[in-house]
Amino acid sequence: MTTTLAIMKKELVVYFKSPMAYIVAGVFLALTGVFFIDSVDTMFAVAEIRGLLLRSVFFLLPLIPPLLTMRLLAEEQKLGTLELLLTAPVRDYEVVFGKFIASFIILSGTVLLTLFYVLILSIYSNPDLGPIFSGYVGFLLCGGATLSIGLLASSLSGNQLVAAAVGFGVILLFNVIDQITTIVGGAVAKVLEAVSLTGHFDSFARGVIDTGDVVYYLVVMAFFLFLTIRSLESRRWR
Amino acid sequence: MTTESMIEVDGLTKYYGDFPAVSGLTFSVRKGEILGFLGPNGAGKSTTMRVLTGYMPPSSGTARIAGYDIVSDSLKARQHIGYLPENVPLYTEMTIREYLSFMGKIRGMSNERIVSRTNDVIQICHLEDYRDTLIGKLSKGFRQRTGIAQAVLHEPDVLIMDEPTIGIDPIQIVETRQLIKDLGGEHTLIISTHILPEVSMICERVVIIHEGEIVAEDTPKNLGDRLEGTERLTMEVRGPIKEVTKAIRNVKGVQDVSFANGESGSGLYNIIGKREGDMRVDLAKAVVDNGWGLLRMEAVTLSLEEIFLRLTTAEGS
């Protein structure tokens, strides 16, 4: 536990020492700003951030989490610091959890900055806070899932660019995979719908926290974190 | 029994795929001893160290650190190890103090102990003026010391250092060696290197490893004595190189002659021969009989470097 916290704290410090945290927050706010203006700038605009969140999940989650996670394990492998880290009396999962939590905190912090838009809405109107709350819950769950994919990508090689590209590709694939359901049809379509990252987000954006969706994101997170731990362990049998 | 030897390695074998990086290593290191691990690049030194530190498990065989098995009791064993990997990997975006504090925390040290030990090791490694400097801005020599500082931070029983003096300037090398020597006694040390004088300077015992197997294990002095059977001479002769070389080779007992250097007319020759009788008399005679000038002749004791070469190339010659 203390080692997990120590690793988490170290990673948080590095995020703020490097420009990465600021770049990520900047890009995130600029793009959500565009989404926000677009969603309120219509004739019968509704005081909600549903559109903003849906588009963020679709466009920003493939982009931002891999940027946050690409360094975490790839750089340790490249510098060789991973060898020193893993020969300390530390369990592999403590390393993975510490790094995951650090990236999750940065992502959450960035997402919570968008509460600014909610504030604007409530100044000029009366937004329904229920769907906003559930929307954020869903966004953070989905964000955690994408971070775990990014972390696995980062564990695969010592190259940060490869990590970012793999993470980006896999998350995007998970995002769009349900778009071919009409073509394949049948049981396969059902499966594709079930594994789609965006598919499970819709109900959160509408104000429904469905246990099935929550479980889905938690399972995705657990699965990819498990694979990341295995990937670290793979040095043992390679 | 484990109070005596801090490191026990028995039949240690590590395969990379089908390739045996090390096979059947067996040795032990007594408490407080400094063991030199010597071998050419690719001999399996780093692999052995990675197994000993618990980074990779052995394919077969066992290793125990301070009595704890490195596989089944990995965490306990690792608590007793300080490790300096090759090339000294460090987090460049941290200051020395931040880094040492982080390394202390992941080793489960209490905050008070981290503070006091950080001050201690900064002093031991002469890093006082740089404690708040980013590691990325330090020179190679200071990074090396930072690496050593983190390795001894938690006062481990066993210190494992992979090529601790590589890539730093000669003055820093001398300082680092002294630092390592000072650490002996308190800690049990394994140091890998391919720099031979280093071994005779620092280590009490040497294990020479070649192609993943131990080819010799002894004190630096005994290893020298082991090759007593051969004798080496250098001779400076004024005369035509080709003929001189040929004449020397014909002298009884001479095994090998090589022309080292020299200007036209005179040259320096390295001669290796059997230590039976004294070939110096015959050599002198051969030179004088041919009418050349014998300028100098002296016996050379075999350096560890040559012993090493002879052991690792064409074993048994």
What are the tens digits of pLDDT across the range A8-51?
999 999 999 888 889 999 999 999 999 998 888 877 777 778 88
Give the start-to-end residue ranges of the domains of chain A: 2-235
In tens, the pLDDT along B284-297 reads 888 888 888 888 88
Predicted confidence (pLDDT) at residue B3 exceeds the cutoff of 60: no
Q: Report pLDDT for B226.
A: 61
Q: Report pLDDT for B275.
A: 65
A chain contacts of residue B57, beta-carbon cutoff 8 Å: 236
Alpha helices in A113-236 (DSSP H): 115-124, 129-156, 160-176, 181-184, 186-195, 202-206, 211-233
d(CA B246, CA B257): 9
Q: Tell me the CA end-to-end span of chain A in Å, nearest whole number.
A: 28
Instruction: Give bridge partners of residue B258 from the DSSP assignment.
Output: B270
In chain B, count of helices (H) and strands (E)? Answer: 11, 14
Q: Report pLDDT for B304.
A: 60
Residue ranges, chain A, pLDDT below 50: none
In tens, the pLDDT along B239-259 reads 888 888 888 888 877 878 888
- Chain B contact present for A84, CB below 8 A: yes
DSSP, collapsed to helix, strand or coil, labels residue B88 as coil
d(CA A125, CA A128): 10
Burial of B123 (0-12, 13-18, 19+ CB in 10 A): exposed
- Chain A contact present for B71, CB below 8 A: no
The DSSP secondary structure of B282-306, one letter per residue, reads HHHHHHHHTT-EEEEEEEEPPPHHH
d(CA A225, CA A92): 11
Q: Report pLDDT for B315.
A: 41
Percent of chain B's residues with pLDDT above 70: 90
How far off is chain B from A207, nearest CA to CA, in Å?
Answer: 42
- Chain A contact present for B116, CB below 8 A: no
d(CA B95, CA B90): 10
The residue in chain A having the minimum alpha-carbon distance to the alpha carbon of residue B150 is A84
A chain contacts of residue B100, beta-carbon cutoff 8 Å: none
Q: Do A89 and B107 touch (CB under 8 A)?
A: yes
Predicted confidence (pLDDT) at residue B277 exceeds the cutoff of 80: no
- Chain B contact present for A16, CB below 8 A: no
A chain contacts of residue B157, beta-carbon cutoff 8 Å: none
In degrees and rounded to multiples of 5, residue B163 shows phi and psi of 50, 65
How far off is chain B from A236, nearest CA to CA, in Å?
Answer: 5
Q: Report pLDDT for B263.
A: 67
Give the pLDDT band of residue B301 (cuts 50, 70, 90): low
Predicted confidence (pLDDT) at residue B118 exceeds the cutoff of 70: yes
CA angle B125, B66, B17 (to 5 degrees): 95
HSE, side-chain direction, 13 A CA sphere, residue B191: 32
Closest C-alpha to A179, from A167, A189, A169? A189
How far off is chain A from B82, nearest CA to CA, in Å?
Answer: 8
d(CA A96, CA A98): 6
The residue in chain A having the minimum alpha-carbon distance to the alpha carbon of residue B19 is A238
Predicted confidence (pLDDT) at residue B58 exceeds the cutoff of 80: yes
| B302: amino acid identity, one letter | L
Q: Report pLDDT for B225.
A: 64
Q: Report pLDDT for B316.
A: 38
Query: In the predicted model, what is the mean pLDDT of chain B?
Result: 84
Residue from B60, B91, B159 to probe the interface with A (highest A Cβ count within 10 Å) = B91
Alpha helices in chain B (DSSP H): 45-52, 74-79, 96-106, 111-124, 140-152, 170-183, 196-202, 220-226, 241-250, 279-289, 304-312
Burial of A160 (0-12, 13-18, 19+ CB in 10 A): buried
What token pair was written down for B312? Answer: 């690792």
Tokens 């080496």, located at residue: B232
What token pair was written down for A226? Answer: 């498990």
How far off is chain B from A90, nearest CA to CA, in Å?
Answer: 7
Q: Report pLDDT for A109.
A: 94
What token pair was written down for B218? Answer: 């002894």
In tens, the pLDDT along B16-55 reads 888 888 988 999 998 888 999 888 778 888 899 999 998 9
Q: Do B105 and A6 touch (CB under 8 A)?
A: yes
Q: Do B87 and A80 touch (CB under 8 A)?
A: yes
Q: Report pLDDT for B317.
A: 34
DSSP, collapsed to helix, strand or coil, labels residue B83 as strand
Give the pLDDT band of residue B299 (cuts 50, 70, 90): confident
DSSP, collapsed to helix, strand or coil, labels residue B85 as coil
User: What CA–CA distances, in Å, run from B95 to A14, A27, B37?
Assistant: 11, 29, 32
Q: What part of B 5-64 touches A (C-beta under 8 Å)?
A: 16, 50, 53-57
In degrees and rounded to multiples of 5, residue B6 shows phi and psi of -85, -30
Q: What is the mean predicted confidence (pLDDT) over B229-238?
A: 79
In tens, the pLDDT along B95-110 reads 999 999 999 999 999 9
DSSP, collapsed to helix, strand or coil, labels residue B174 as helix
Sheet of strand B19-30: strand arrangement: B19-30, B5-16, B60-65, B68-69
Q: Report pLDDT for B101.
A: 95
Compare CB distances from A235 to B56, B78, B89 and report the shortest one's residue.
Answer: B56
Q: Report pLDDT for B2.
A: 43
Q: Report pLDDT for B242.
A: 82
ipTM confidence score: 0.88
- Taking a C-beta distance cutoff of 8 angstroms, is the pair A99, A4 a contact? no
Compare CB distances from B83 to A87, A91, A238 and report the shortest one's residue.
Answer: A87
